[in-house]
Every structure is written in structure tokens, then in C-alpha cells.
Amino acid sequence: MARITWRTSSTQNLVSKFRLRWSYMMHCWHSLTFNAHMNSSYATDVCMTPIFWIVDNYTHCLGPFFVVGTAVLTTAVVSIAYWIGLPFWWAKSQAATIVLLIIGNWLLLNIIFHYVMGVITPAGQPPEGVSHVEAVSMCSKCISPKPPRTHHCSVCNRCILKMDHHCPWLNNCVGYANHRYFFLYMVYTTLGCLFLIVAGVEIGYKYLWLDHSEHWTELEPLEGHPVKFNQSGHVIAVTHPNEYDDILLPPAVHHLPTPMADSPDATPTRRRVLWFMAVVNVAVVIALGSLSIWHAKLITRGETSIEAHINEAERKRFLQLKRVYINPYNFGTKKNWKLFLGLVRGRSFWRTVLLPSWHKPEGNGLSFHTVHDAPFEDEWP
């Protein structure tokens, strides 16, 4: 009984020491974070500093490789489409081929135009040496005033007007001057890949499904002797080459499908290339399609990717105060899209969106109308 009591007392002492040490560590942690110079968020930023340093210093260096990779991948996909798809559809229907060529080259033209413009068009930055009346804050890195909706890009090492994010695939920031190019590039690339998938379904079925092997293979070889049944139901062995008893009837002719492997088109290289096309197009549709939907939602709400996080935090803060936060740049779905696409001052949808257009966004990027000071509907836009 005394031994059991001693063991219980030892266990309690061990638990008490553990709790004491844990309380001491928590007390030390709170003492470090409970002051104006350091908090838990700052401690997290300090721990993440090495990762931020790698992103800031190497993303810009890798940008040109991403641009070259995008150009090479696009060229490969288009070349394969012309190499395999064009002869296939031309042999199938010349009229359908002409229609497909018109649609495909229209999509390709928009893809190339919007990508090139997204790469070479600067997103926009505040002018140096000019005081901004509507500056909302000072940039701690640039040591200069920041206009509304402006944020500092650590990769480009400068402030970007109406910054959305830094895109390594463009090797450029996405902001005030090139946001439309970036979005339309994603949309047209997604549509182009969907177009290749739809136009290539029959080609894939022919070369990847039907032509799954290079030779005909019998899973179960035939064994035994050919037989036939007479009118009484007796089995009679077939010993002559003719398939019918009447010698006047010619032998039956069977039209069997020709193995695809006997065709020069059914080569292993062609099948590998088609698998490459299938994987790339499906991956691009999933990736860029999801990103396009996300940015479309942001455009509908009149905000950028950065502002989406800021507005969400403001909504939560206002909710605690029992108030409702209103995004000052949200003018409604229709007007938000018109402003983003530049469908103002008499510009038409088919000339501005369906065809390449160099028009610049409205305003100067240094100041923006809000829901509180927007002009009348007939004046703006």
C-alpha cells in the first residue's frame, strides 16, 4: 500500500514539474510579444524573412525563363495542332477545316497579342519628385507618397499603381496599365485549349484509343477443327476450303477493320505527341480556367487581389463594430466590367474585347472615383 502511494506521489510531482516548465515557457513567450515593439505577427515575419528574401531576389531572375518557357510551350502546342489536326480535318471536311482555322487563328492572335502586351507594358508607378495631393500613406521602402490603391512590389522594388500581384509568367507586375491584358490572356488561353480539346477528341479517339497497340493480338488462340451443323442438328467437320456446300456460290468476303499500326500515321511518336497535347491542354484549362474565374469575381466586386484581402479584413473589423463595410470602388457589376474592359467613350465590345486593342485604361492611376464622388451616369463613364 505504501509502494502504491509512493508511485502516485511521484507521478503527481512529475506532472507538476511539467506544468511549471510549460507555464514558464509560455510566460517567456508572452513577455517577448507583450510590448509595442514586438508581437506575434512580427515574430512570424522574422521567421519568414529567409523565404521572403529568396522570393524577392530570385523571382525576378527566373522571370525570363518563365517567359521563354511559355513561348516555347505555346509554339509546341500550335505546331502539333497544325501537324496532326490540320491534315486530319482537311481529309474529313474542307469546309469544317476552314471554319476551325478561322476560329483557331482568331484565338491564337488574341493569345499572342495580350501576352506580349502584358509582358512589355509597365504596370505603372507613381512619378518621382511630384507631391500627390491624394496620397493615402508613405511607402516605407520607396520613401515616397503612395496614391490610392498603390502597393509596393518587393520583386520589382518599386510601388505599383493599382497593384494586383507580381506574375512570374509575365516577368512583370500586374497593375493599373496591364491588368486587362493579363486577364484577357488567361481567358483566351483557356478558350484556346478548350477549342483544341473539342477539335481533337476524334483524333485522340482514333490514335490513342483504337490504336492502343501496334499489332493485332489474340488473347485466346483458336484451337480445334472447324465444324458446321446440318439440318438434323448433327455436327459435321469442315474439310474443304469453301465456306458453302454449293460450289456455285463464291467464298464469303469479310470486310475487317485494318489495324491502325499498318498506317504510317500511327507511329509511337505521334501517339506520344497527342498524349502531350492532352495533358498540357487539360492542365492549362484547369489552372488558368480557375484563375480566370477568380479574377472575374474580383472584377465583378471592383477590387484587386490585394484589395480582396484588405476588404475582407475590413468587413470583419466593421462587423465587430456592428457596422457594414462598403468597398468604395464597387460601382456595381455592369459598371465595374465596363471600366475594367474600357468599354467607355463609345468603344464597342467586339472591337475592344473580341479583337486586339491598345487602348489605355481610364484615368491616370493616381486617383480614382469612389461610390461617394462618382459623376452622374450620363457623364461617367
Query: Which of 193, 178, 199, 129 lies closest to 361 in space, CA to CA?
Result: 178
Q: At what angle do helices 179-199 and 333-341 cross, to 10 degrees?
A: 90
Query: What is the total residue count of the chain?
Result: 381
Q: Is 173 a catalytic residue?
A: no
CA distance 127 to 154: 18
Output the CA torsion 209→211→215→220 (10° steps). Answer: 30
Query: Which of 275, 99, 86, 295 lies closest to 189 in space, CA to CA?
Result: 295
> If you search the block for the grid coordinates 510531482, which residue do you land on?
13
CA distance 304 to 308: 6
* 122: its cell numbers: 509597365
Report residue 316: phi and psi, to 5°: -65, -40
Catalytic residue among 153, 167, 173, 193: 167
Catalytic residue list: 167
